[in-house]
Amino acid sequence: MTDRFTDTIDMQNSVSEFLDVYNSRPIKENAGGMGVNHSWALWFVLRHVNPSVVVESGVWKGHSTWLIHTALPNAKIYSFDVSFSRLEYKCPASTYIERDWSLFDWSNVDLSNSLALFDDHQNCYNRLIQAYWYGIRHAIIEDNYPTGQGDCYSLKQVIARSGAPKIQMSANSRKRLGRELYYSIQERLYQYIGHHQHRVISPNDYDSGNLQQRLEHYQIMPPLNVGKESMYGHPWTGEYARPEEIAPDDPKLQQLDRAYNFMTYVKMK
C-alpha cells in the first residue's frame, strides 16, 4: 500500500493554489457535474500521480476535461461521453470520442503511465475490470455511493458486499430523462441506463474478494468543506462516514457543495 495521500498537511497546503485555479474555470455553472470538493480531489490526485495519459469517461459540459488539462498541461486526454450535446468547453489536448470507452481500440495507445477518471454513472466494478484489461492501473472514481444510494454499483457497495439491489435509475435520472427526451430518445436512454451495467447486482462476496485482491491503494478523498449532513439528510456517520474536511474555515470557499459522496482514488496491483 502506498501512503502517498495520507499527508493531510500536504492536502491543506494545496487548497489556496487550487482555489485560485478553480476560480478561473470556464464553466461557472456545473450542475450535474463536479463541484468544488470533487474538483479539488481530482486536481490533487492528478498532480500527484502525474500520468501522461488520462482517459475520462463522462464529460458533460467539459469542466473535468478543463481541470485535467489545467492540472497536467502535457498529458494526452481521451474524453468519452455518449453525447456531447452539452459540451461548453473543448480542450486542445483531448481527443473526443462519442461512445463507451470500452468500445475503443486501445491497441495503439501507450497506457503504461495512465489514469482513468470514471464519472459516468456506470457499474464501477466493471469499469475497473475494463481498466485492468487495458493496462490502466490508476483510477479516480467520482461516484462512490453508500449502500442503498445512487444509480450505479459503487466500490463502497462492492466492499460492503451489499450489491446494488434497486433498479439503477434514480428518481432524479428519471425526472431528467423525462425533461430531455426530445434530444433523442435512444441517445438519452443509452446515457442514463448505460448499456454495460447490470441493472441489479445481488449482494455477494465474490466482487469484494476479487476487488480487494487487485487493490494496492484505495482512498476516499476528503472534502474541503461540506455541511453538517449529506444530501440524503443523513449525518456523516456509519455508512455515510467521510474523511475530515481539510479546509472547513477557508474564506475563499464561497459556497458549500451539497455533498453526497466523495472522490475515490484507486491503484490496482
Ligand X SMILES: C[S@@+](CC[C@H](N)C(=O)[O-])C[C@H]1O[C@@H](n2cnc3c(N)ncnc32)[C@H](O)[C@@H]1O
Nearer to ligand X, 59 or 91 (CB): 59
Report which of 102, 117, 58, 100 is spatially closest to residue 264, judged by C-alpha positions. 117
The residues pairing with 83 across neighbouring beta strands, listed in sequence order, are none
Closer residue to ligand X (CB): 39 or 208: 39
Residue nearer to ligand X on the CB measure, 208 or 259 = 259
Q: Is the dihedral of CA 238, 259, 122, 78 positive or negative?
A: negative
Give the nearest distance from C-beta 140 to ligand X in angstroms.
Answer: 10
Return the residue nearest ligand X (CB atom).
33
Of the pair 59, 71, the CB lying nearest ligand X is at 59
Of the two residues 54 and 253, which places its CB atom closer to ligand X in the complex? 54
Q: Which is nearer to ligand X, 59 or 136 (CB)?
A: 59
Strand order in the sheet with 53-57: 94-97, 76-80, 53-57, 114-118, 138-141, 264-268, 215-220
- Whole-number minimum distance, CB 7 to ligand X, in Å? 26
Q: Are 82 and 98 in contact (CB under 8 A)?
A: yes
Q: How far is the CB of 235 from ligand X (least distance, A)?
A: 25
- Say if strands 94-97 and 76-80 run parallel, antiparallel, or are unpaired: parallel
Residues of this chain that interact with ligand X (CB under 6 A) are: 30, 32-34, 57-60, 63-64, 80-83, 100, 119-122, 191, 194
To ligand X, the closest distance from the beta carbon of 259 in angstroms equals 14
Report how far residue 207's alpha carbon sits from residue 158's, in angstroms, rounded to the nearest whole number. Answer: 6
Min dist. Cβ of residue 241 to ligand X (A) = 23
Which triple of cell numbers denotes residue 109?
495507445
| Shortest Å distance, C-beta 112 to ligand X | 23
**Interatomic CA distance for residues 119 and 56, integer angstroms:** 8
Report phi then psi at 231, rounded to 5. Answer: -60, -25
Give the alpha-carbon dihedral of 88, 29, 39, 197, to 10 degrees.
-70
